Amino acid sequence: MRIPEDIFERPQYLNRVIPFMGKSLIKVFTGQRRVGKSYILYQLIQKIQAESPEAPIIYINKEDLDFAFLTNAEKLHQFIKDQKKSGMLNYVFIDEIQDIDNFQIALRSLILDDELDIYCTGSNANLLSGDIAGFLSGRVIEIKVYSLSFLEFLRFHGLENEDSALEKFLKYGGLPYLRHLELTDAVAFEYLKNIYTTILYRDVVNRNSIRNTVFLEKLVLFLASYTGSLFSANKISAFLKSQQVKMAPNQVQAYISYLTNAFLIHQVPRYDLVGKRLFEIGDKYYFENLGIRHGLWGYRPEDLGKIIENAVHNQLLISGYEVKVGVLGDKEVNFICKKNGETLYIQVALSIKEPSTIQREFGNLQLIDDNYPKLVITLDDFEGNTFEGIKQVSLRKFLTGE
């Protein structure tokens, strides 16, 4: 195999997998296509080769025609056994493993071999986090890989941390390959639309045998239009029906699950802060990659509030938070964020220069009766005191951790 020369390291993912290297656990990197999972495998291979130059490496890329013959579990198992060198630790890397039928059967057998250290990538959440985890009885570690953070975007594109760079990030998103292209609408959005088509047809339509592709595409456009809005499958079905597109609510929910499994969108549930329970109906939807959203829907000034809310949501996922939407009676807290037993509450607004906006955004957070930190994130660049203990932070500072 040939490893690309111009690899930008993403240490947050490497640092998460390093403690499990050489252990009898399958390391699975999941995420949307083209977010850079393959390059994380390359970085791991480089690390292994630098530390143990003689270590046997078995690399399988299911997007490479050379491996088209590996169609099922039996062929995968036999190929790895044939390639393995006995008496030493062999490192096995399988890129886009979900394209191999019943791959989990092969993995369950291969993990029994102490001379194999196995790493996989996949672009389907259901196959790789659900089926593997149950089938392998806890012998799997899943590491979710996301589009570039703003800090990574700056490094990949050689940009300074300034407002013009933030606008490029919000507009074109964080797919790593964009650094090889002109960051112009004509070039970037053409690339992003083609990535969207690949995801939609390879990871959604083909994998789930979908026939009604017209409805599926209209559903994605609907979610792009109403990014960050509260909707249930019933409401989506009723709205689309008004547009002469008929689909039962249970089918709408099924199609949404296919989109989330392909990591095209993230579905965020609502949480009752008083009753301490999840609501069964009504969720919000955010795009994994804002550039793909804009390639489909356009980058519109009137959507800027939705866009920065989506960007905050994605940064929270990258930072390892479990994210929910908070409900306090008829009030909403944009994000309840939990990590390592701690909680963070966040409101997002374009600006809080108007008194009514200040009262709404800070007031909702003031209703929460605990001492966990609370933030209001805006595009305003503000330096000063807190509002009764609640901090205001600019979006750029939030995204860079300043």
Checking phi first, is residue 73 left (phi over 0); if not, alpha (psi -120 to 50) or beta? alpha
Whether residue 356 is predicted with pLDDT greater than 90 in this model: the reply is no
Query: What is the C-alpha separation between 394 and 348, in angstroms, rounded?
Result: 10
Query: What is the C-alpha separation between 283 and 267, in angstroms, rounded?
Result: 7
Give the E-state strand segments of 297-378 in sequence order: 322-328, 331-339, 342-348, 374-378
DSSP code of 229? -
Predicted confidence at residue 341, as pLDDT, reads 95
DSSP code of 148? P
In a 3-state reduction of DSSP, which class is residue 363?
helix
Q: Convert the pLDDT of each residue in 117-133 to its tens digit.
A: 999 999 988 765 555 66
CB 347 within 8 A of CB 312: no
Predicted confidence at residue 172, as pLDDT, reads 98
For the chain, residues classed under CATH 3.40.50.300 are 11-144
Predicted confidence at residue 133, as pLDDT, reads 63
Cα–Cα–Cα angle for 339, 135, 15, nearest 5°? 40
Fold entry, domain 11-144: Rossmann fold (3.40.50)
Predicted confidence at residue 157, as pLDDT, reads 97
Predicted confidence at residue 134, as pLDDT, reads 67
User: Is residue 281 very low, low, confident or very high in pLDDT (cuts 50, 70, 90)?
Assistant: confident
Average pLDDT of the residues in 197-219: 94
List the strands of the sheet with 277-287, edge to edge.
Answer: 230-231, 277-287, 265-272, 322-328, 331-339, 342-348, 374-378, 391-394
The reported pTM is 0.95
CB 174 within 8 A of CB 153: yes
In a 3-state reduction of DSSP, which class is residue 105?
helix
Query: What is the C-alpha separation between 356 and 74, in angstroms, rounded?
Result: 64
Between 356 and 350, the more confident residue is 350
Average pLDDT of the residues in 226-231: 92
Whether residue 137 is predicted with pLDDT greater than 90 in this model: the reply is no
Q: Convert the pLDDT of each residue in 230-271 to its tens digit.
A: 888 898 888 888 878 888 899 999 999 999 999 999 999 999
User: Is residue 28 very low, low, confident or very high in pLDDT (cuts 50, 70, 90)?
Assistant: very high
User: Is residue 389 very low, low, confident or very high in pLDDT (cuts 50, 70, 90)?
Assistant: confident
Query: What is the C-alpha separation between 124 and 204, in angstroms, rounded?
Result: 9
CB 356 within 8 A of CB 373: no
Tokens of 226: 């109403």
Tokens of 108: 């369950």
Predicted confidence at residue 319, as pLDDT, reads 97
Query: What is the C-alpha separation between 175 and 79, in angstroms, rounded?
Result: 32
Whether residue 198 is predicted with pLDDT greater than 70 in this model: the reply is yes
Predicted confidence at residue 235, as pLDDT, reads 87
Tokens of 143: 């590491």
